[in-house]
Amino acid sequence: MNRPEFELIEWIRARVRDRAPVTLGIGDDAACLQPAGDRETLVAIDMLMEGVHFTFPSATPQLAGRKALAVNLSDIAAMAGRPTAAFVSVALPNARGMQFASEVHEGLIQLANEYDVVIAGGDTNSWDGPLVISVTVVGEPLGPRPVCRHGALPGDWLFVTGAVGGSLSSQRHLTFSPRLAEVKQLAKMASLHAMLDISDGLAADLHHLLKAGNVGAVLEAASIPLTEAASKSTDGSTPLMHGLSDGEDFELLFTVTPDDGLRLTSEWREATPITKIGEITDVRGCSLHFPDGRTEPLPPIGWTHRLGH
């Protein structure tokens, strides 16, 4: 009897290995994890759908699988955490066969190995629809507590890692590196007050951070680091607008005290740059300050999910 689902499971099982904190991975009814001491456990879940988060042939099956894990690793990084295990559920298109399925999982497995994450279980289904991948990642805080969105204080400096804008047009949304190494170094060098990763767009996600902390912010337009794709866009929108609203950047947006900000600015040696882009205020709302002295309100522009009427 042809049992492709179980063939795929065995193919995956042969390519992953259990390691702490996973004591029992793929092959039983549930996985077993042994957390260290009384530390909190972080859990991130994202579901990616063909036609929304990636399309073929601009993506490959490997890159679709890679992105499905990468966005969850980015969420763990945004909590100042370390990922340990992943659980992967897929709805595979019937028409694309075993080779396609194995390539999707190869993208997942390669990225998991790069960041020392165990793929510890999941589920596989097939249907006549498009590819759907749901990944759950488990992790632990690097410090005593995770860093949340709500900790920003008036006077904090606001930083971003890397550069923003143009991720979809340049396909960087498929190949980005989750900022796990960067957040590990940040946690060593500074007390991170508030943090999140940029998925919906810099402006939109900044508003999430400000709302959570009941604070405001002023951004310096000239300081926002833009990618080459954002700077060279010819679609009629300005490079700055791309940087503020494109989304899918998966960079970290975080706040620290001015003293820690000075230390980071002078002592940061990682390959991924960090840039001060503004300051937190005690006045609700967000504004954008331009080099010519103008200050304009900055609304939460960016990606929104459409749920119909």
Check pLDDT > 50 for residue 84: yes
Q: Residue 17 has what pLDDT?
A: 83
d(CA 161, CA 274): 4
The DSSP 8-state label assigned to residue 109 in this structure reads H
The pair of structure tokens assigned to 185 is 């170094």
Check pLDDT > 70 for residue 31: no
Tens of pLDDT along 220-254? 999 999 999 999 888 889 999 999 999 999 999 99
Q: Residue 1 has what pLDDT?
A: 42
Tens of pLDDT along 168-203? 999 999 999 999 999 999 999 999 999 999 999 999
Residue 15's pLDDT band (cuts 50, 70, 90): confident
d(CA 247, CA 238): 15
Scan for tokens 């490959």, then name that residue.
Answer: 60
Q: Higher-confidence residue: 303 or 285?
A: 285
Q: Residue 7 has what pLDDT?
A: 80
Q: β-pairing, 216-220 with 118-127?
A: unpaired
Check pLDDT > 70 for residue 71: yes
Tens of pLDDT along 256-275? 999 999 999 999 999 999 99
| Contact by Cβ (8 Å): 259, 214 | no
Q: Residue 101 has what pLDDT?
A: 96
- What is the sign of the dihedral through the CA atoms of 55, 248, 301 and 306? positive
Q: Give the ranges where 128-238 is alpha helix by DSSP (H).
A: 167-170, 172-175, 180-189, 202-213, 228-231
Residue 133's pLDDT band (cuts 50, 70, 90): very high
Q: Residue 309 has what pLDDT?
A: 46
Q: β-pairing, 285-289 with 216-220?
A: parallel
Q: Residue 9 has what pLDDT?
A: 74
Q: Residue 38 has what pLDDT?
A: 73
Q: Residue 307 has what pLDDT?
A: 47
Residue 3's pLDDT band (cuts 50, 70, 90): low
Check pLDDT > 80 for residue 6: no
Mean pLDDT of 70-86: 95
